[in-house]
Amino acid sequence: MAAEGGLSELRRGVLGPCVLALLEARPRFGLELVRALAAADGLLTSAGTVYPLLNRLRDAGLVTSQWQDDEGERARRYYYLTDEGKNSLAAFRADWARFSATVGGVLNHTYMPDGACEKGLPR
Amino acid sequence: MSSTALDHPLVRGYLHELGVALLAVPVAQARELREQITAHLEEALPPGAGDREVAAALSQLGSPADLAAEAQAAGGAPSRVPAAALGWTWLTRVRRRTWIAAVLAVLLAAAGAKAADRYLSAGPLQFNNGADWWFSQDARREAIVTAGTTTQSTTPIRSGQLQGYVISIFNPTDVTQTILGDASGPSIGWDNPGGPSEHIAVSRSSTHIPSGSAGQSLAGNIRFTLPVSVPPLQSRLVRVLWTSVLCLSKGETQGIDQLYLRVRVGWFTRTEIIPQQAWYLAGPSKGQPNWRHCI
């Protein structure tokens, strides 16, 4: 398995919850979100993919968008987290905590799928 | 140097490529994404951004093809997908002759379905009120009873002899109906009042039954045969003969009031049940029945 290919799939899977998490803090416009995600190392390889993702989240009812035209500022489309989005994010957080612990355990040999727990003894 | 970032040739080229790539995406979705990418570039690039800066921003966005693929993966049925994208290019390679044949086949099928519907929806032949016993001795001795729209004609049974009647039937539909012969009714073999042996024949032309005389008087002029076609809105005479082998005691009667015909309408053959006047035979006209012919 190519490491980059696997990482790319993983990145793709977690990008949505990461967007929801960023919007949980406050509403953001597109470029703002892109920059925040790009700042997280390795999370975003292609800025343009954020927009189709936002549209997908919007269609799923997890985010909503609204144009804001503040004086002295250019008109921007801000994205907000909906209640459904909040619930989805909470559920993902719980799943992710278990999932990442399991994956970490397997990768670090602290957890074996057959029930054994032998740190440092790969099978 | 350009006045706004969107005027930069690299940006214009990128947006053009994006527009082409988004042809495979539903219109509303494509428009929205293009608007988002445009706003992104407008915001990310300062007016008069240099080539290197613009190229870096476009590189960060990803290729138009990747964006379009991502948008397509986001869902929604493609509304204007080029044939090539769906593997439909074979359609353009189909020969003209094949297209013509296919169109003709479709037209023929449609015409066939229409004709079939016309045949299947055509109503049955109808009793046209003209009716009489076929033989003069039966006609002379008939007793007619009419109650409302129902007419019953009763004549003495002549056991062991040929008896019968003739009626006029009318085709009220707009399709030709061809009478092929008799069809068994619910009581098989008893579709005439005298017994199971039934002989049906139809006149080849439209004729009225002369009033006051038995059907047999037509025999010299009219040819009865089978099968016979009844064109739309025309009538024919149907002759029904049988040998009376049924034995009826004195005062006993036996009759029918429906005619069962095998009829072909277009491509379909069916049984038509034609309500008609009631034909009855009455038990013995003279003394005891002729038991030798009884069944």
Burial (CB < 10 A; 0-12, 13-18, 19+), residue B246, is: buried
Query: Of A49, A74, A76, which has the smallest distance from its Cβ to B70's Cβ?
Result: A49
Percent of chain B scored above 70 by pLDDT? 82
Q: Is the pLDDT of residue B89 over 70?
A: no
pLDDT of residue B176: 92
What whole-number distance in Å separates Cα of residue B227 and Cα of residue A54?
Answer: 77
Q: Which residue has the higher pLDDT, B85 or B161?
A: B161
pLDDT of residue B6: 86
Angstrom CA distances, A58 to A51, A65, A101, B10, stand at 10, 8, 30, 30
Dihedral (Cα; B189, B194, B199, B204), 10-degree rounding: -130
Verify whether the Cβ–Cβ distance A47 to B32 is below 8 Å: no
Q: Is the pLDDT of residue A34 over 90?
A: yes
pLDDT tens-place string over residues B236-270? 999 988 888 777 777 888 888 888 888 999 888 88
What whole-number distance in Å separates Cα of residue B261 and Cα of residue B266?
Answer: 16
Region B114-119: mean pLDDT is 82
Verify whether the Cβ–Cβ distance B74 to A30 is below 8 Å: no
The answer to whether the beta carbons of residues B253 and B282 sit under 8 Å apart is: yes
Per this entry, what is the length of chain A? 123
CA angle B103–B105–B110, rounded 5-degree value = 95
Residue linked to tokens 């009219």:
B222
What are residue B263's DSSP bridge partners?
B179, B270
Q: Which residue has the higher pLDDT, A123 or B171?
A: B171
**A104: part of which helix (H) or strand (E)?**
helix A83-107
Q: Measured between CB atoms, does A66 come within 8 Å of chain B?
A: no
Q: Which residues of B82-109 are buried (b: 16+ CB within 10 A; e: fewer)?
A: eeeeeeeeeeeeeeeeeeeeeeeeeeee
Question: Cβ–Cβ contacts within 10 Å for residue B221, how many?
Answer: 9
Q: Is the pLDDT of residue B58 over 90?
A: yes
Q: Is the pLDDT of residue B54 over 70?
A: yes
pLDDT tens-place string over residues A21-33? 999 999 999 999 9
Residues of B with CB under 8 A from a CB of A: 29, 32-33, 36-37, 39-40, 42-44, 60-62, 66-67, 70-71, 73-75
Distance from CA of A107 to the nearest CA of B (A): 31
Q: Is the pLDDT of residue A114 over 50?
A: yes
Q: Using 50, 70 and 90 to split pLDDT, how confident is the model at B186?
A: very low
pLDDT tens-place string over residues B272-286? 888 888 889 888 745
Mean residue pLDDT across chain B: 80
